[in-house]
Structure 1
Amino acid sequence: MLMTPSTSHVPPSDDRGDLHDLMNRLRREGRPFALATVVRTISVTAAKAGAKAVIGPDGGIAGGWIGGGCARAAVLKAARESLVDGQTRLVSIQPEDLLKDLGVTPGEEKQGIRFARNMCPSQGTMDVFVEPVLPRPNLVVLGASPVAVALADLGPRIGFDITVCAPAEDQGLFPRANERIEGYALTVETAAQRYLVVATQGRGDQAALKAAVAVDADYIAFVGSRKKAAALKAALEKDGVDPGRLERIKAPAGLDLGAITPEEIALSILAEMLRVRRTGQRDASLLPSIAQT
């Protein structure tokens, strides 16, 4: 029997307005989620094309609707995986006989499609696109030096939100900042990846560095020479800062690109941050560096 695609509509239980509000709130809060969208159905299925659901990192549905248990397990598994690796998924849920006709088994991936078995009596087919929505990484610039200004200018171009920690009179140097902090009162916890660069260059070095190592971050770097960084670390340890936290500081900051100008130094730091971000490397002390004064 020839099966024809169902007409596209969203069940009354899926309120698009509420779902839109939920996604906006999660984005504002910097919380990751996956959006699952039914893109095609064939024969009888509970959800129809256009149905959507928001799925959290724990695999639970935070809002929306994509049908019952016949599809849920495979979609939730794909959503959890997408939030780990940041990649989209296309899940095709089909009756077992159709999977055999295609020469695939449940759980197998072929040409970018993951196949799953529909064990419900309806025996319909449903394709679901799963898209991760991850918080943008946050570059926290401490200081108002020329390198700090260059970092805040270049950072958004490669996908970073910018938080500027600087005195009130210097905030005008950073027109592209997403968040502004007068001084160095950093938020202790954040859902987004956080990269901290102390670029005070002689104006509040010790206070800024002490604030940076007091919070968790994926990367902490100091713009300055190795000798200067060592002296600051010794002073902070004498002040009671945990030596283990001080070991997290990458100094000098940046890859060895032979950088000289503030813009070049900022570029070398962003390149190092990008490498840490893309490889998942957390021990930035193992990365090559440049000497800065």
Structure 2
Amino acid sequence: MDLSLLSALNAERAARRAAVLVTDTGSGAQRLVKAADLAADPLAELLDKQLRTGKSGTVEAGGNSYFLTVQAPPPRVIVTGAVHISQAMAPMAKLLDLDLAIIDPRAAFATPERFPDVTLLTEWPDAALASLGLDSYSAFVALTHDPKIDDPGLEAALRSDCFYIGALGSRKTHGRRLERLTAAGFDETTLGRIHAPIGLDIGAVSPAEIALAILGEIISTLRGPRRPKP
């Protein structure tokens, strides 16, 4: 590989940005397509499809064969709320190769005993998210039912490129949440990014079932066709 391409690829990796190295298997010619430039590439549809799988592979187009080397950041799920649902989510997320971090300033809830081998941040969301950062391979999930904890996290997520934003609560609870976020300056289109009620509609009742519904919706959003940004 050309050293300039390698340097550019490493820079995208360090910044947690997706990229695809396109190699013409016939000529050996290579080019790097960054996620931000994907839509303008002649192979845009194929690149997008391959990128959503997170796996490298060979594709055919226009009588030519290309090997697509996919570099996608590990997807992560950032949760506000060290609650029963997030306790159930933690082992499921690990099985799905999703990095999970839980934010909850209530140190009595966010303990290693309740969340073994999980990244715990016993800080307020605005401080924790400033250090974690949110990007297009981050999912944000609000689970506390406490506006003092959930709302700052939601505001940070709505200002970011998170691929998924979800919040627990009934339609009535979400209605009040939307009123607060509207007062904070967010418009209807932006607020439409929030999945609420959260999770796939599978009739979930128990914390484990709700965790499964949430992770299912996250995976569907991550791997399914990308929605155009508002």
1:259/1:242 CA distance change after superposition, 3 Å:
same
Q: Which protein has the bigger helix share?
A: 2
Q: Name the aligned partner's letter for residue 147 of structure 1.
A: I
Cα deviation code 1:139-158 (max 9, x no counterpart): 22112111123223322322
Cα deviation code 1:141-181 (max 9, x no counterpart): 11211112322332232232223322272153444446857
Among 58, 83, 86, the alignment partner of 1:89 is 58
Residue 227 of structure 1 pairs with residue 193 of structure 2? no
1:90/1:219 CA distance change after superposition, 3 Å:
closer
Among 102, 106, 110, the alignment partner of 1:164 is 102
Among 129, 132, 141, the alignment partner of 2:70 is 132
1:247/1:26 CA distance change after superposition, 3 Å:
closer
Contact 2:140 2:157 in 1 (8 A): yes
Q: Name the aligned partner's letter for residue 48 of structure 2.
A: V
Contact 2:83 2:144 in 1 (8 A): yes
Among 11, 16, 35, the alignment partner of 1:30 is 16
C-alpha deviation, 1:260, in angstroms: 1.6
SS of the residue 1:220 aligns to: strand
> What stretches of structure 2 of length at least 5 have no aligned partner?
52-56
In the superposition, the TM-score normalised over structure 1's length comes to 0.56
Among 259, 264, 269, the alignment partner of 2:204 is 259
Contact 1:147 1:263 in 2 (8 A): yes
1:23/1:213 CA distance change after superposition, 3 Å:
closer
- Equivalent-residue separation in structure 2 for 1:89 and 1:199 (angstroms): 41
Percent identity reads: 27
Cα deviation code 1:108-150 (max 9, x no counterpart): 2xxxxx35xxxxxxxxxxxx63321212222221121111232
Contact 2:76 2:99 in 1 (8 A): yes
SS of the residue 1:150 aligns to: helix
Q: Which has the higher contact order (CA 8 A, sep 6+)?
A: 2
Largest Rg, 1 or 2? 1
In the superposition, the TM-score normalised over structure 2's length comes to 0.69
- Equivalent-residue separation in structure 2 for 1:27 and 1:130 (angstroms): 16
Among 249, 253, 257, the alignment partner of 2:194 is 249
Among 141, 159, 165, the alignment partner of 1:197 is 141
Aligned residues: 211
- Equivalent-residue separation in structure 1 for 2:134 and 2:20 (angstroms): 19
Q: Could you say which residue in structure 1 is the equivalent of 2:84?
A: 146
Q: Name the aligned partner's letter for residue 161 of structure 1.
A: D
Q: Could you say which residue in structure 2 is the equivalent of 1:55?
A: 32
C-alpha deviation, 1:251, in angstroms: 1.6
1:132/1:205 CA distance change after superposition, 3 Å:
closer
Cα deviation code 1:182-232 (max 9, x no counterpart): 221235975542221101134734444444334332222111211112122
C-alpha deviation, 1:90, in angstroms: 5.4
Cα deviation code 1:247-287 (max 9, x no counterpart): 3322211122121211110101111222222332549xxxx
Q: Could you say which residue in structure 1 is the equivalent of 2:54?
A: none
- Equivalent-residue separation in structure 2 for 1:33 and 1:217 (angstroms): 17
